[in-house]
Amino acid sequence: MSADPGTAPLFPWSIPLRGHIKVLPEDFVVDEIAATEPDGAGEHVWLHIRKIGHNSEAVAEWLARVAGVPRVNVGYAGRKDRHAVTTQWFSVQLPGREEPDWSRQVLDGVEILASRRHSRKLKTGHLGGNRFRVRLREVAGDHAAADALLEGMRERGLPDYFGEQRFGHGNVERAQAWFAGRLRPRGRNQRSLYLSAARAVIFNAVLRRRVQDGSWDRLLPGDLANLDGSGSVFPVADVDEELRARCERLDLHPTGPLWGRGGPGSAGAVLDLENAVAHDWCELAQGLEREGLAPARRPLRLRPRRLDWHWESGDSLVLEMELGPGEYATGVAGAIAALTDGG
């Protein structure tokens, strides 16, 4: 995915650094911010888990085996990396049953920090965000330019590309094979991964076009504007001074399409651009439409809730940030450094 010049992240500035990311798991630490705390009663057991060396789906499958329930009975809010130290909540539905003695179950690299009952399953996307601590190693380049760029990103945001995690290893190619009738997903999780990757290709290509024409951080007539920190969007027929000022102070953001049946919802020149990109990726766009996904929107601009950094030993840069759901710390790191993945 990243090798395709039509969809690879493009930034409106020169990248001042190069370095390595995820050399060790502890170089990438993620703590999930819960949207809901378990209330202590109900048929779902919520488990607060710290893991290393496993992705979220592998832990969910392990929990299902331990509990003796179908995989569908296990929920989590967001997928977390394997080559990282991550903390997140899982839920296991156990109607009318006692929970297992989790302390007697062992999976190397997985630690259960807390267990509490709740009335509802934990569903995908139901999280408040994530806190990250990311260490870049063997960093070379212009440190002062990177500091200035990070200051600017803290104040003005950056293009909100989907990160490499969204694409996995070959999920775009598998989505193309599925839509062409050469492959079928095995189960709901694979289907979700392939659909998500296909949507991300189209979104990233739209965002790349708008970085090229300079409109990624400003509203255009025909845009759907996003209210910062929410999933709310509204159509922009004309960009008046009030809307322009709200966009400049990061209260509003332009959005791009998460493709689905019924069209992207934009208008005018914005719709023309998005349709042109969908035409370039017609096998993915048509496949998403056939699968009946409802169209949605995603901000083109990422505004970190918090962004701090410091240099260690001259050639290591530590980034600390808090991001919203679906926002990528690797995207922030990749906006200042050309990175080699050590994971």
Query: Residue 28 — pLDDT band, cuts 50, 70, 90?
Result: very high
Please provide the average confidence, as pLDDT, over all residues in the chain.
94
290 burial (CB, 10 Å; 0-12 / 13-18 / 19+) is: exposed
Q: Which among 213, 302, 287, 186 has a CA at the least distance from the CA of 255?
A: 302
Is 5's pLDDT higher than 70? no
Tell me if residue 39 is catalytic. no
- Mean pLDDT along residues 277-282: 97
Q: Count the alpha carbons within 13 Å of 286 in the hemisphere toward its beta carbon.
A: 11
pLDDT at 343 over 70: no
SS3 content of the chain, % helix, strand, coil (to 5): 30, 30, 40
pLDDT above 50 (res 1): no
Question: Per-residue confidence at 102, pLDDT binned at 50, 70, 90?
Answer: confident
Which domains can be identified in the chain, with CATH numbers? Answer: 36-125 (3.30.2350.20), 165-302 (3.30.2340.10)
Please give the pLDDT value at position 105: 80
231 Cβ partners below 8 Å, 6+ apart? none
Where is average pLDDT lowest: 131-145, 285-299, 329-343? 329-343
Span 94-118, average pLDDT: 91
Local structure of residue 8 (DSSP, 8 states)? S
Confidence tier at 156 by pLDDT (50, 70, 90): very high
Strands 337-341 and 17-21 come out as parallel
Task: Tell me whether strands 85-93 and 28-34 are parallel, antiparallel or unpaired.
Answer: parallel
- Residue 182's φ and ψ, nearest 5 degrees, are -95, -5
| Three-state SS at 53 | coil
What would the two tokens of residue 36 be? 């809901």
Q: Is the pLDDT of residue 197 over 50?
A: yes
> How far apart, in whole angstroms, are the C-alpha atoms of residue 92 and residue 47?
8
The single residue of 27, 81, 223, 228 carrying the catalytic annotation is 81
